[in-house]
Amino acid sequence: MQPDWKNILLQQGFLELTKTLENKAIDVVSWKVNDNTKVSLLASGILLVEPFDTSGVCDLVISSGVHGNETAPIEIVDRLVAKILTQDLVVRNRVLLIIGNPVAMNLSQRFDIENMNRLFNGHHVGKNHHEAIRAAQLENMVSDFFVAGTATERRHYDLHTAIRGSKYSKFAVYPFPDGRDWSKPQLEFFLASGINTVLLGHQPSGTFSYFSSHRFNAHAFTVELGKVKPFGENNPEDFALIEDNLAKLISDEAVNSKPFDNSDFNLFAVKQELVKHSEEFSLNIADDLENFSDFKRGFQLSNDGEHSYIVEQDGEAIVFPNAKIPIGQRAGLIVEKTDI
Ligand SMILES: [Zn+2]
């Protein structure tokens, strides 16, 4: 007999249960919340919620905590689960709710052994550490979820917070669409959720959102919701718009959005990846420089011998700068504004 995980979930919530379970294997636990809703705890930090009425139009994945110290998204998922279990939220679409990396969460770290958001889309293959095993498990669970669904639309919002501040406090990273068009309705959803800055992906990657986009044609996004803080220090009001809209998707209620217009957005395209070519590599910016900070033409952004980067156009900006990486890896992205 395993402990009564259902009871712990009902009494203490999804976050506390996931802290307790960490990466312990469990038998699936399923029960009816009411005549319309079934929940199944598939594994630690992975909860499937299904309406018995199968007329839902969207199969929805909401994931958090792929980076263990990004607590605000974990709390959003925890609150959504609580509302489903207390029946404050009517479930009309299937939804898979995820806390991605319970081991790193319990360590209050971004990751333990390897950054999990580089391990998806098969990048875990050949690796045996627990974060690679977890990435494979999450891929399998998301695959089963999407394959079993009958909805006409698939969506995946992978929620994060960032290490550094950002000139635009919230932004979405739109994974490389593999030749599909950028979805304006999806950008309208973000605008209605208080997010008007979007970085358009330029190539395949190992992120969780690219996995769902690439493998399942899902509308999938990495959503950055602000700065990393410890549990208990996030203000729920900062996330109310996106949280309410995710709840509306679960309930299949209309989101209050306006028609797409480029002028409502800061859309950024990747101009160039800044790759570290030598041990001499350094960035000529402050350690706490905000994401999307921009530069004047002629500014020498990096020192890296013949690969040093000098800004070519006014307004080029940097995202995710990080000089403390191995040679050959990405030290940041040079981006510039664009329209779609
Ligand atoms: Zn993150």
Residue 316 structural domain: 276-338
Helix axes 14-21 and 5-12, enclosed angle (nearest 10) = 130
Neighbouring residues of the ion ligand 1, judged by CB less than 5 Å = 67, 70, 160
Q: For position 325, what pLDDT does the model report?
A: 86
pLDDT, mean of residues 241-249: 98
Q: What total of structural domains would you count in the chain?
A: 2
User: What's the pLDDT band for 163 if we cut at 50, 70, 90?
Assistant: confident
Q: Is the pLDDT of residue 49 over 90?
A: yes
Final residue of a domain: which of 251, 286, 303?
Answer: 251
**For residue 96, pLDDT beyond 80:** yes
The verdict on 185 and 95 lying in the same domain is yes
Find the catalytic residue in 50, 75, 131, 224.
224
Please count the other Cβ atoms lying within 10 Å of the Cβ belonging to residue 153.
16
Dist CA 153 CA 7 (whole Å): 33
Residues 225 and 285 both lie in one domain: no
For residue 291, the SS3 value is strand
Q: Give me the amino acid identity at 191.
A: L
Domain assignment present for residue 49? The answer is yes
Q: Is the pLDDT of residue 44 over 80?
A: yes
253 is catalytic: no
Residue 1 has pLDDT above 80, yes or no: no
The last residue of one of the domains, among 251, 286, 317, is 251
The yes-or-no verdict on residue 50 having pLDDT over 90 is: yes
Q: 22 — alpha (psi -120 to 50), left (phi > 0) or beta?
A: left
Distance 224 CA to ligand 1 centre (A): 7
76 within a domain of the structure (yes/no)? yes
For the chain, give the mean pLDDT: 96
Q: For the segment 313-323, what is each residue's pLDDT rounded down to a tens digit?
A: 999 999 999 88
- Please say whether the beta carbons of 125 and 175 come within 8 A: no
Q: Could you tell me if 68 and 112 lie in one domain?
A: yes
Phi/psi for 10 (5° steps) reads -70, -35
- Tell me the CA–centroid distance for residue 70 and ligand 1, in Å: 6
